[in-house]
């Protein structure tokens, strides 16, 4: 019983004393609604996490291992978001938004050394997105994830048909999403993938291999369907011609 209690506390905090402090802070201010609650949490949460400014955190946000969470300036965390930094940490850059019911979970109970989630500046993590950081997830600046996107830096080994999959271990290579990427609603990014700068991933795509910079990838499995060139950009920027009869 005692060992299970220790395990539970270690999954949610870095020590027993920190756990008690964090729970007291949550009890006092986590539930407070409206702008009053946002202001109280901006101040009080500095006691339990690393914030370079005063983050706007709505009510109903769950934080586990907050000592391993770093928030930049002007970060916004919406209602129902779950940040679980177990261990490896979560970092969210300046002016980034995490919208309601998104889940960022390092889920590093196997203590993989390169685990963690790092999100750059001016990013948007859409509603109900899931980011799993066991293998390490690095997201650059000005990246937009539409609702229901899954970024999963972990995979199960299933090569031995005589053993249950749950006993065969995992692979965790990591995922890198470079600057200025837009990922459409419902897309799934699998472990070991790099998405290049300026790329666009279509809604519902399943990305199982690298996507080159400045391309559009779509489908399941995703493949490049278009290159984004200067000529294409200039043509898209031209106003439509209107003919009056």
CATH number at residue 17: 2.160.10.10
Domain membership of residue 244 (yes or no) is: no
Q: Mean pLDDT, 10 residues at a time, over the chain (245 residues)?
A: 85 93 97 97 97 96 96 98 92 98 89 91 98 96 98 94 92 96 98 98 98 98 93 61 47
Write down the pLDDT at residue 239.
62
Write down the pLDDT at residue 244.
45
Domain membership of residue 174 (yes or no) is: yes
The residues that bridge with 98 in the sheet, in sequence order, are: 77, 125
Q: Record the tokens describing residue 197, joined without a space.
A: 């700068």
Domain membership of residue 242 (yes or no) is: no
Give CA–CA dist 192/188, Å, rounded: 13
The DSSP result for 56-105, as a single string, is EE-TT-EEESGGGEEE-TT-EE-TT-EEE-TTT-EEE-TT-EE-TT-EEE
Q: What pTM does this model have?
A: 0.91
Domain membership of residue 243 (yes or no) is: no
Catalytic pick from 12, 79, 84, 156?
A: 156
Provide the 8-state DSSP code for 239: P
Domain membership of residue 90 (yes or no) is: yes
Domain residues for the domain of 110 are 2-237
Domain membership of residue 196 (yes or no) is: yes
Nearest by Cα to 123 from 185, 55, 178: 178
* 156 in catalytic set: yes
């Amino acid at each position: 019983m005692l060992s299970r209690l220790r395990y539970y506390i270690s999954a949610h905090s870095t020590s027993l004393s920190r756990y008690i402090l964090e729970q007291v802070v949550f009890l006092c201010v986590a539930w407070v609604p409206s702008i009053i609650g946002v202001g109280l949490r901006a101040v009080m949460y500095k006691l339990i996490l690393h914030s370079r400014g005063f983050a706007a955190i709505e009510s109903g946000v769950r934080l586990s291992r907050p000592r391993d969470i770093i928030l930049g300036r002007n970060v916004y965390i919406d209602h129902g978001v779950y940040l679980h930094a177990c261990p490896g940490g979560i970092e969210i850059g300046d002016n980034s938004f995490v919208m309601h019911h998104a889940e960022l979970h390092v889920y590093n109970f196997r203590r993989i050394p390169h685990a963690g989630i790092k999100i750059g500046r001016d990013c948007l993590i859409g509603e109900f997105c899931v980011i799993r950081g066991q293998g390490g997830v690095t997201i650059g600046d000005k990246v937009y994830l539409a609702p229901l996107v899954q970024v999963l830096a972990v995979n199960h080994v299933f090569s031995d048909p005589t053993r249950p999959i749950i006993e065969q271990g995992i692979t965790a290579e990591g995922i890198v999403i470079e600057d200025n990427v837009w990922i459409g609603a419902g897309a799934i990014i699998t472990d070991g993938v790099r998405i290049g700068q300026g790329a666009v991933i279509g809604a519902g795509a399943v990305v199982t291999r690298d996507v080159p910079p400045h391309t559009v990838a779509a489908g399941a499995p995703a493949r490049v369907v278009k290159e984004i060139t200067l000529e294409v950009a200039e043509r898209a920027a031209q106003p439509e011609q209107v003919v009056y009869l």
